């Protein structure tokens, strides 16, 4: 069980004059601080897939980076099976597999070497690493390029290796930040199948996306964030019911209600 409770994160604005007109109008800008995440809460049970939705700049990536301990929250809790991982980042990194928006692969290393390196960081033995790489290569269809240098990879190849690297240690929770962005149809299908497999194994998955068809196909729950706050957190069925099964309209409905509350 993963529970995120009342997360908050603000950033100092170094030079307010360099802000865009849209940023100046954002109600999260207060004095010399921008409150990227103000109050975000949601939960995800074992074997569930949660889709994290929101417009650009809503606070999704900041939320996921806090969850992965790449950023330190100003307030709130992240509980994974009873452990407050924000209080112990080392435990968090053992329990969570995180894929950020940028792959960050080492270009001079092969795909296999990139994955193996992270296996070593997680304390896996050479035998465990070799076995996991073979398994992941089959699941993610990486055999044809696994032993090539990463600097020559396509976007899809990089994403597959990055996902394998994130789950090499068989984490208790997998967090994916827009995992299919920039991928072709075949690579997207492979990633979607991999998420389905994690779900079938009982591993909870939280992923952000702008593709509502992915939400419809994969997700059990939906959380919508807007202007740094949770605006919706419920099942896919409840989300779909907001607009007679039309997820796009459901999403717009949640945002419209958010804006009305903001004006009020």
More confident residue, 259 or 223: 223
At 264, the pLDDT band (50, 70, 90 cuts) reads very low
**Closest alpha carbon to 110 in 164, 146, 162, 161:** 146
Contact 29, 98 (CB under 8 A): no
Q: Is 181 helix (H, G, I), strand (E, B) or coil?
A: coil
Q: What tens digit of pLDDT does each residue of 189-225 get?
A: 888 999 999 999 999 999 999 999 999 999 999 999 9
Average pLDDT, the chain: 90
Confidence of residue 22 (pLDDT cuts 50, 70, 90): confident
Q: Are strands 173-177 and 96-99 parallel, antiparallel or unpaired?
A: parallel
| Per-residue pLDDT at 16 | 74
If one looks up domain 2-97+172-263 in CATH, what number appears? 3.40.50.300
Give me the pLDDT at residue 259, please.
66
Percent above pLDDT 90 for the chain: 65
Residue 244 has pLDDT above 60, yes or no: yes
Give the model confidence (pLDDT) of 92-119 as tens digits. 788 899 887 666 799 999 999 999 999 9
Which pLDDT tens digit goes with each residue over 30-43? 888 999 999 999 99
How open is the CA angle 47-194-5, to the nearest 5 degrees? Answer: 40
Reply yes or no on whether the pLDDT at 134 is more than 80: yes
82 phi, psi to nearest 5 deg: 90, -5
> Would you say residue 262 has pLDDT above 60?
no
Local structure of residue 238 (DSSP, 8 states): H
Q: pLDDT category, 261, cuts 50, 70, 90?
A: low
Find the mean pLDDT for residues 63-79. 91
Overall average pLDDT of the 144-162 stretch: 93
> What does pTM read for this prediction?
0.87
- Rounded-to-integer distance, Cα 192 and Cα 208, Å: 13
Give the pLDDT score at 237: 95
Cβ atoms within 10 A of the Cβ of 239, count?
26
Query: Taking a C-beta distance cutoff of 8 angstroms, is the pair 87, 76 a contact?
Result: no
Tokens representing residue 226 in the block:
């807007």
Residue 263 has pLDDT above 50, yes or no: no
Q: What confidence tens digit (pLDDT) does each residue in 223-233 have?
A: 999 999 999 99
CA 243 – CA 12 distance, rounded (Å): 39
d(CA 151, CA 88): 34
User: Using an 8 Å Cβ cutoff, are 101 and 178 in contact?
Assistant: yes
Reduce the DSSP state of residue 48 to 3 states and report it.
coil
Specify the residue for token string 């939400």: 215
């Amino acid at each position: 069980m993963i529970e995120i409770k009342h997360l908050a994160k603000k950033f100092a604005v170094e030079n307010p004059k360099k802000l865009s007109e849209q940023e100046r109008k954002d109600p999260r800008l207060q004095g010399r601080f921008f409150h990227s995440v103000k109050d975000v809460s949601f939960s995800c049970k074992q074997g569930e897939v949660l889709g994290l939705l929101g417009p650009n700049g809503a606070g999704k990536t900041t939320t996921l980076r806090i969850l992965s301990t790449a950023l330190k929250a100003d307030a709130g809790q992240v509980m994974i099976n009873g452990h407050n991982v924000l209080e112990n980042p080392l435990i968090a990194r053992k329990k969570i597999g995180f894929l950020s928006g940028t792959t960050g692969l080492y270009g001079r290393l092969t795909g296999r070497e990139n994955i193996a390196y992270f296996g070593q960081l997680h304390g896996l033995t050479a035998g465990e690493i070799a076995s996991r790489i073979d398994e992941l290569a089959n699941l993610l269809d990486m055999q044809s390029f696994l032993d090539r240098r990463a600097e020559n990879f396509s976007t899809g190849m990089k994403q597959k290796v990055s996902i394998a690297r994130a789950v090499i240690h068989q984490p208790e929770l997998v967090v994916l930040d827009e995992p299919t962005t920039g991928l072709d149809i075949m690579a997207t299908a492979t990633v979607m199948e991999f998420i389905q497999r994690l779900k079938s194994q009982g591993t909870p998955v939280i992923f952000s996306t702008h593709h509502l068809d992915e939400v419809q196909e994969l997700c059990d729950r939906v959380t919508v964030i807007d202007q740094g706050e949770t605006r919706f957190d419920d099942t896919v069925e409840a989300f779909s019911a907001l607009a007679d099964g039309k997820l796009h309209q459901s999403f717009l409905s949640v945002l419209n209600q958010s804006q009305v509350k903001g004006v009020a």
